[in-house]
Structure 1
Amino acid sequence: MNVNEIRAHYDDRSIIMYQAYSKAIALPALQNNRFVPPFSFNRMTWIKPSFLWLMDRSQWGLKSGQEMILAIRITRGGWEEALSQAVLTSYDPQVYRHPDEWAAQFEKALVHVQWDPERTLRGKSLPVNSIQVGLSRHIIEKYVNEWTIEIQDATPLVRKIHGLLRQGQEAKARGFLPKERVYPLKPALARQIGIR
């Protein structure tokens, strides 16, 4: 069974999340250093700290509507507040006593946590799961207005790494990857989101 780990680029006070958007959403966000319409405050938004996981999901920013990759620096306090309100997207007997208990919590959850296989530079699955966190419309305003410190355009970096990969220069491409390491959590919070 895969191990669940939060792999992220972080410092003492902040952590980087990655999201892929169309230019219509990404460009105003970059101009304002915060999300503004047409970004939707009324639907769940998914944030991911694993760069390579998002590269696999967005096909290196080549998927329609995911052409721009944003690196969103948020407070560690905000990140941990989100996780403290999270419910897993599927039943885990090591976290919940009974499927009905999980179902009841999931129905009311402000935040969802899903674990998916981490990826290599070439998109192969690893025996480690990376986290993605779904923020419901009831908590998105906090993400936008309180937790977000800075929004940067990671698209040029993505194009550079992907270009090197396509040229067969994997070692050189690896050198440009964000420096991610395992993010530490208090044991009770780790257990709540399925980290053992």
Structure 2
Amino acid sequence: MVARMLREIRADFDAETIVVYQAYSAAVADAALAAGRFVAPFSFSRMTWIKPSLLWLMHRSNWGGKAGQERILAVRITRTGWEQALSRAVLTAPEPAVHGSAAAWSAEFARAAVHVQWDPERSLRGAALQHYSIQVGVGRGLIREFAEDWVVGVRDITPTVHKIAGLVRSGQSAKTRRLLPPERPYPLAPVIARRIHAGA
């Protein structure tokens, strides 16, 4: 088995698009599904966080069990939009190898259009693993572009995640493998990898 890098984007993607996951209330989810993109009551006035790791979002939303996060959406966006976001991103904490100094990071972070945070990836049972998963915060200045130009499809996968959660609770974790998305390492241009501190 090939060892994973410490900070690596793993995702379900094809030549043109990548799938990210979000958890919303029924009102936001139903409106997005009807329109095929995000529309009101989705908020265009605050940062929205997108995650290519389904299991990380399942940990965060308790498999759709948290209030306001009951519906799990698989959002397919263009790789052009995704990579534009990463190319404009600033880490949520200073990293000397990237920013040089905390003061330089602070100045860059204050005007950042996109935030990037690395958090421990999660197992099916929610345990923290020894490698990290990315979450990307798309800022208010890019929200319209995200919702209207990057999004090419929205799919409700709530029934699937509930089925997976049930299998895990009943001790049948092995049966979940065919239900999980085919997440694999996402290729990054070196300049973007350096910017978001991806790698070993």
Q: Identify which range, 171-180 or 56-65, moves more after superposition.
A: 171-180
Letter in 2 for 1:193: I
* 1:109 aligned to which of 86, 102, 112: 112
In structure 2, list runs of 5 or more residues that go unmatched: none
* 1:98 aligned to which of 101, 105, 109: 101
Query: Aligned pair 1:170/2:152, yes or no?
Result: no
Per the TM alignment, residue 175 of structure 1 is displaced from its structure 2 partner at its CA by 2.2
Query: Aligned pair 1:13/2:16, yes or no?
Result: yes
How many pairs align?
Answer: 195
CA distance in 1 between partners of 2:95 and 2:6 (Å): 14
Give the aligned partner of residue 28 of structure 1. Answer: 31
Segments of 4+ in structure 1 off by > 4 A? none
Q: Is the 8 A contact 1:121 1:174 kept in 2?
A: no
* 2:192 aligned to which of 182, 189, 194: 189
* 1:150 aligned to which of 121, 145, 153: 153
SS at 2:45 equivalent:
coil
Letter in 1 for 2:190: P
Give percent identity, aligned residues only. 57
CA distance in 1 between partners of 2:169 and 2:190 (Å): 41
Query: Aligned pair 1:137/2:140, yes or no?
Result: yes
TM-score by length of 1: 0.98
SS at 2:99 equivalent:
coil
Letter in 2 for 1:76: R
User: Aligned Cα RMSD in Å?
Assistant: 0.9
Give the aligned partner of residue 44 of structure 1. Answer: 47
